[in-house]
Chain A
Amino acid sequence: MSASFLPTGVEYIRLLPEIILAIFGTVVMMASPLRPKESRNFLYAITLVGLAAALWAAIAAYASPGTAFQDMVIVDGFGTFFRVLVIGVGILTILISHQYLARERAEPGEYYSLLLLSILGQCVMVTANELIMLFIGLEVSSIASYVMAGYLRNDQRNNESALKYFLLGSFATAFLLYGVAWIYGITGTTNLAEVRAALLTPGLAPAGMLASAAAALMFIGFAFKVSAAPFHVWAPDVYQGAPTPVAAFLSAGPKAAAFAILLRVYATAFEPLADRWEPVLWLSALLTMVIGNFAALTQTNIKRLLAYSSVAHAGYVMVAVTTNTELGTAAAMFYLASYAFMNIGAFAVVAHISRQGEKYVQIQDLAGLGVRQPLTAALLSVFMLSLIGVPLTAGFFGKFYIFKAALDANLVWLTVLGLLNSAVAAYYYLRVIVVMYMQEPVESTDSLPPLPTGLKATLWGAAAGTFLLGIFPSLVLDFAGRSAALVK
């Protein structure tokens, strides 16, 4: 009996990405004080190697899918997809951050270490097969993100951002944990499959209500993390205040991971309660789209604009979650992957334009970029067009699959309103292009230095991803479709 509590070899392989990330996270932190003061490249290289190794491990782990550590972790296609996604987001973020940190004269060691730990948390989240594991992953990811949001500690806006994120975030996670406790009280288990089985047991009548209440409590936590209305209010302030690479990271990595657990928990454990949560998600999806898009219309700060746009995009993904079908899950996965590319690309340009101390973060500061740096402007236009959802870019297929799934699930009104929303959104994305191409250069673009290598790599990588998913979406969608059938 006792022997079965010891993990077997293959179980370590299933957890290998997390192990690698933990090791590298620690190594980077330890090496940080030891390295010579002027060399930044060393830690940068270690971090990239660590992420590459974790990426390899995530793919290798998929060769032997299954559960590990007493069913606490599950390696399946769904989990692997998100593991690869968050690690990929990490790589792109590092590429932006290197130059950014040098410019702001910030210590790179702790930053890289925190980033690795945050990704570690997200990997745990997306492969968690039970609620406690999920909560641990969420906390590891969040606490590292709270620190990163305030990383430039002499900057007021950074402090504001971190404080808001931390206070509201902890409050929301408390709800989540409370919901977990209720579930444990009702069903006596935290394993997702067992929770589902318990909820399906006939004779649970009085507890059915309680279980719904628990699901609602947990929804508050999830909705906060994915910035879905009405729990989205933190997002604009935090994104605007945080260092730009961190904002890029927050909008892609933790958000994707949070959607992953939302999908997993609601489509497996809480699936028996679908009748009760679907209307709530329906309303939340609609509100998120409307609030995000309409609030973005009047923004003048580009980081804030992208923050509201990120809220709006969370709304689209919520539509996919609301469908509660495999197609919807696959659509959400595809969307999050394409969103990661285009949004990190957009933030990377902002990081480049903003200059030291983030002086230039108004949309107006992009004026004349089309003349001064045609390539940067062209790439940012690609990201904006993709965010609008113009065909032949990733954003178009993302929206297409989501609304197709929604129509399949007979959510006709949500589809119509969502599509009209995406037309409204075109206005504020176009405004960015208008400023870049149709206005005369200003001080911020006149004095713009050429693109550094890391940023260039990020931009090209993101643009390639945007086009690749926009022209050959099957590359990702096939895998997403195959892994959307979550283990129940």
Chain B
Amino acid sequence: MLLNMILFVPLAGFLLLLFFPREQRGAIRTTALLISLLVFVASLGLIPEVRNAPTATSYETNVSWIDYPPIRYHVGIDGLSLWLVILSTLLTPITVLVSWNYIEKRVKEFFAFLLLLEFGMIGVFLAMDLFLFYVFFEVTLVPMYFLIGIWGHDKRIYAAVKFFLYTLAGSVLMLAAIIYLYNRGGTFDYPILLEMLRNGRLALSSTEQFWLFMAFFFAFAVKVPLFPLHTWLPDAHGEAPTAGSIILASVLLKMGTYGLVRFCLPMFPGAARDNAPWIVALAITGIIYGALVAMIQPNMKRLVAYSSVSHLGFVVLGIFSFNQLALDGAVYQMLNHGVSTGALFMLVGYLYERRHSLEIADYGGVATPAPFLAAMFMVTMLASVGLPTLNNFVGEFLVLQGAAQVNFTWAVFAAVGVILSAVYMLWMYQRTFFGEVSEELRSHMHDLSPREWATIIPLVVLMIWMGTATQTFLPVISASNERTLEQTKTNVEFQVNASPSLSSQVKELLNVR
């Protein structure tokens, strides 16, 4: 009941906002804020039960939606999805506050779309039916498309259409794969399909596994985005309004990595392992390439966007290392990236609201007129760089350690990315906040307002919390990851002929642990 409420209240909020008269901007904003806060508070109530049983599916609802083919409204939450759901519900009220004054035209539609987006995001993480998952996966496209296209910067239309087409092209083949699985297994229900794959009632040949894996993988890789499918990301981020960038970076990209962990690994372990080498190669390429390109960006938002490409490379590396530590790190890094990159986009947005420019060259010495803004930016930037005691450090460290256990070379190359991230972030920070401040800039720059404080504080607190008290978050993730790896292992033994050399190597490592 609680879970369904969390899922459907944003949808109800979306419909409610549509009936508001458009002049009542204040009422619209307040309603959106209250609804999203309500959802956030409610979502905190999910924590105790999931912590008790992180590998079980809690708050399960399973009712028929469409009789034939049997598509079920089957939702539930477990350790893998818990924090991602809470991340989504936390960021929605924050983005409402961020957009409070920034959005001036078509206020009603903007906040309505934000709530619709929240509905889609939460749905993606809760769906236990492949078909339902696909529906939510696509539903998020529409509001995001409008957010970028209507309220974005100058090249917004190009960016919005590119975003929509890339993701859609990626996901239609996943739909084909989902239908194919249904034709073979007779159900869209994910736990049942998994069980059938596990006990061999649904045996996929290695060719089938390969193509199905590729169809799913491609859809998620576009979303992540994995190098070289990342080109939509800088455009989408660069042109989106602040709220759009935050949601896009923090949650929408995670839908890709979440899909990899949730679906690709357990369903097609053989194919996932066979293809891991080149996927890891792409991930590492992405880590380094993203960092190098970020370094030379003159535009702050694009810089942060490319840093996302780099950070998400770590996540993919962690996932395809097939190692408990690396996978824990990957999932943890999904959350970290959500918090710290979301905060970065927010702060860049605040700079933009003051100076109306995203070019780094237009800034300099901002720390003098706006010391608190500079301080918050500093913490966030250091978190993103991976400074110990801040959140990203934990995730990156786990990924690197886990990857090193599997293949030391991977870790070496990936670690280059950590160093480079320090270079581009610090350099950007230096050019923006230090040095002489021009008179013109000084007149624009005022420090954080109370509303802005309210949006940044929760995220900064989380950065420190997640960096120091990992025990709050990690055990749940770890337990569900153990199950995921167990699932891939069971399937390995069943599909033993898929790739003996590599699978035994991985198994050995798993047994060592």
Residues of A within 8 A of B (CB): 370-371, 374, 385, 388, 390-392, 396, 400, 403-404, 407-408, 415-416, 419-420, 422-423, 426-427, 430-431, 433-434, 437-438, 472-474, 477-478, 481
User: In the complex the two chains form, what is the Cα distance from A53 to B68 in whole Å?
Assistant: 32
Q: Are B135 and A391 in touch, CB under 8 angstroms?
A: yes
Residues of A within 8 A of B41 (CB): none
Contacts of A438 in B (CB 8 A): 149-150, 156-157, 160
| Chain B positions within 8 Å of A433 at CB level | 149
Query: Hey, which chain A residues are within 8 Å of B169, CB to CB?
Result: 420, 423
Chain A residues whose C-beta falls within 8 Å of the C-beta of B296 in the assembled complex: none
Q: How far is the CB of A30 from chain B (nearest CB, A)?
A: 47
Q: From residue 142 to 195 of chain B, which have CB atoms closer than 8 A to chain A?
A: 142, 145-146, 149-150, 156-157, 160-161, 164-165, 168-169, 172-173, 175-176, 179-180, 182-183
Please judge, given known A-B contacts A430-B161, A473-B66, whether A419 and B176 are in contact too, CB under 8 Å. yes
Cross-interface CB contact of A434 among B149, B172, B175, cutoff 8 Å: B149
Given contacts A408-B183, A423-B168, A430-B164, 8 further A-B pairs with CB under 8 A are A391-B136, A400-B175, A419-B176, A420-B169, A423-B165, A423-B172, A434-B157, A438-B157
Nearest CB of chain A from residue B411's CB, rounded to whole Å? 37
Residues of A within 8 A of B176 (CB): 403, 407, 415-416, 419
Question: Residue-by-residue, is B473-508 near A (CB-CB < 8 Å gives 1, otherwise 0)?
Answer: 000000000000000000000000000000000000
Residues of chain B within 8 A (CB-CB) of A391 are 134-136, 138-139
Q: Which residues of B contact A407 (CB under 8 A)?
A: 176, 179-180, 183
Q: A407-B176, A408-B183 are in contact. Are A474 and B67 (CB under 8 A)?
A: yes
Bound-state Cα–Cα, A431 to B142, Å? 14
Whether B145 lies near A430 (C-beta < 8 A) is yes
Task: Report 13 cross-chain contacts, Cβ distance below 8 Å, ordered by A residue.
Answer: A371-B106, A400-B175, A403-B175, A403-B176, A416-B173, A420-B169, A430-B160, A430-B165, A434-B160, A438-B156, A438-B157, A472-B66, A477-B66
Given contacts A408-B183, A474-B66, contact A390 B138 (CB under 8 A): yes
User: Total number of A-B contacts with CB less than 8 angstroms?
Assistant: 84
B82, CB-defined interface residue at 8 Å: no
Q: Does B450 contact A (CB under 8 A)?
A: no
In the bound complex, residues from chain B placing their C-beta under 8 Å from that of A408 are 183
Q: Are A437 and B146 in contact (CB under 8 A)?
A: yes
Contact residue among A392, A404, A481 (Cβ-Cβ distance under 8 Å from B135): A392
Write the nearest CB–CB distance from B309 to chain A, whole angstroms: 23
Q: Which of A422, A427, A473, A477 contacts B172 (CB 8 A)?
A: A422
Inter-chain contacts of B106 with A (CB < 8 A): 370-371
Q: What's the least CB distance linking B24 to chain A, in Å?
A: 15
The listed residue with most B CB atoms (<10 A of its CB), out of A391, A400, A403, A416, is: A391
B69 at the interface (CB under 8 A from A): yes
Tally of B interface residues using CB under 8 Å? 34
Can you name the residue of chain B whose Cβ is closest to the Cβ of A471? B65
Q: Is B141 an interface residue (CB 8 A)?
A: yes
User: B161 and A392: CB pair below 8 A?
Assistant: no
Interface on chain A toward B: helix, strand, loop, or mixed SS? helix
Chain B neighbourhood of A434, CB < 8 A:
149, 157, 160-161
Query: A427-B161, A434-B161 known; A390 and B142 CB under 8 Å?
Result: yes
The complex places the Cα of A474 from the Cα of B134 at a distance, in Å, of 18
- Known A-B contacts A392-B139, A474-B68; the reply to A426 vs B165 at CB < 8 A is yes
Contacting residues, chain B, for A390 (C-beta < 8 A): 138-139, 141-142
Q: Given the complex, which residues of B lie within 8 Å of A481, measured CB to CB?
A: 68
CA distance A390 to B141 in the complex (A): 9
The 7 closest A-B pairs by CB, nearest first: A391-B135, A419-B172, A423-B169, A391-B138, A404-B179, A423-B168, A474-B67
- A426 near B168 with CB under 8 A, answer yes
A476 CB, nearest partner CB in chain B, Å: 11
Residues of A within 8 A of B161 (CB): 427, 430-431, 434
- Chain B interface (Cβ < 8 Å from any Cβ of A): 22, 66-69, 106, 109, 134-136, 138-139, 141-142, 145-146, 149-150, 156-157, 160-161, 164-165, 168-169, 172-173, 175-176, 179-180, 182-183
Complex-state Cα separation, A371 to B67, whole angstroms:
40
Q: How far is the CA of A274 from the CA of B226 in the complex (A)?
A: 45
List chain A residues, Cβ under 8 A from B160: 430, 434, 438
Instruction: Provide the bound-state CA to CA distance between A392 and B179, in Å.
Output: 17
Whose C-beta in chain B lies nearest to the C-beta of A472?
Answer: B66
Question: In the complex, what distance in Å separates the CA atom of A408 from the CA atom of B69?
Answer: 12
In the assembled complex, the CB of B28 is this many whole angstroms from the nearest CB of chain A, namely: 14
**Contact partners of A400 in chain B: CB under 8 A:** 175, 179
Interchain nearest-CB distance for A149 vs B (Å):
34
Residues of A within 8 A of B149 (CB): 433-434, 437-438
A396 to B132, CA, bound (A): 13
On whether A420 and B172 interact (CB within 8 A), knowing A430-B164, A437-B149, A477-B68, the answer reads yes
Shortest Cβ distance from A422 into B: residue: B172
Q: How far is the CA of A437 from the CA of B183 in the complex (A)?
A: 40
Q: How far is the CA of A434 from the CA of B141 in the complex (A)?
A: 14
Bound Cα distance A431, B160 (Å) = 11
Quote the shortest CB–CB distance from A98 to chain B (angstroms): 29
Closest to A401 in B: B69
> Shortest beta-carbon distance, A83 to chain B, in Å?
24
CB distance from B83 to the nearest CB of A (A): 26
CB distance from B232 to the nearest CB of A (A): 13
What is the CB-to-nearest-CB distance from A236 to chain B, in angstroms, rounded to a whole number? 23
Query: Please, which residues of chain A bring their CB within 8 A of the CB of B146?
Result: 437
- Given A423-B168, A427-B161, the answer on whether A437 and B66 have CB atoms closer than 8 Å is no
Is A437 within 8 A of B138, CB to CB?
no
Q: How far is the CA of A432 from the CA of B323 in the complex (A)?
A: 48
Q: Provided the pairs A422-B172, A430-B164 are in contact, do residues A404 and B138 lie with their beta carbons within 8 angstroms?
A: no
| A299 CB, min distance to chain B CBs, angstroms | 16
Instruction: Please indicate the chain B residues that have their CB under 8 angstroms from the CB of A370 in the complex.
Output: 106, 150
Verify B135–A437 contact, CB threshold 8 A: no
Chain A residues contacting B175 (CB-CB under 8 Å) are: 400, 403, 419
CB distance from B10 to the nearest CB of A (A): 14
CA distance A36 to B182 in the complex (A): 62
Of B106, B146, B161, B175, chain A has the most CB atoms within 10 Å of the CB of B175
Most central of A423, A477, A481 by chain B CB within 10 Å: A423
Q: How far is the CB of B479 from chain A (nearest CB, A)?
A: 32
B residues in contact with A472, CB < 8 Å? 66
- Tell me which of A416, A438, A474 has the highest count of chain B C-beta atoms within 10 A of its own C-beta: A438
Residue from A388, A415, A437 in contact with B150 in the complex, judged by beta carbons closer than 8 Å: A437
Q: A392-B139, A430-B164 are in contact. Are A404 and B69 (CB under 8 A)?
A: yes
Q: For residue B156, which residues in chain A have a CB less than 8 angstroms away from its CB?
A: 438
Q: In the complex, how many angstroms separate the beta carbon of B106 from the nearest chain A beta carbon?
A: 8
CA distance A392 to B180 in the complex (A): 21
Query: Within 8 Å CB of A423, what residues of B?
Result: 165, 168-169, 172
- Chain B nearest Cβ from A486, distance in angstroms: 19
Residues from chain A with Cβ under 8 Å of B109 in the complex: 374
User: In the complex, which of the residues A419, A426, A430 contacts B173, with contact meaning CB atoms closer than 8 Å?
Assistant: A419
Q: How far is the CA of A374 from the CA of B182 in the complex (A)?
A: 40
With the chains together, A370 CA to B157 CA distance in Å? 15
Cα distance, A474 to B68, chains bound together (Å): 7
Residue of A nearest to B135 (CB): A391
- Bound: A157/B4 CA distance, A: 55
Q: How far is the CA of A428 from the CA of B32 in the complex (A)?
A: 32
Q: Quote the shortest CB–CB distance from A480 to chain B (angstroms).
A: 10
CB distance from A346 to the nearest CB of B (A): 17
In the complex formed, the residue of A with least CB distance to B148 is A438
Q: How far apart are the CA atoms of A415 and B172 in the complex, in Å? A: 10
Instruction: Kindly provide the distance from the CB of B173 to the nearest chain A CB, expressed in whole angstroms.
Output: 6
Distance between B9 CB and nearest chain A CB, rounded to angstroms: 18
Residues of A within 8 A of B150 (CB): 370, 437-438
What residue of chain A has the Cβ atom nearest to residue B141's Cβ?
A390
Closest chain B CB from A241 CB (angstroms): 30
Q: Which residues of A contact B66 (CB under 8 A)?
A: 472-474, 477
Minimum CB–CB distance for B191 against chain A, Å: 21
Q: Which residues of B contact A430 (CB under 8 A)?
A: 145, 160-161, 164-165
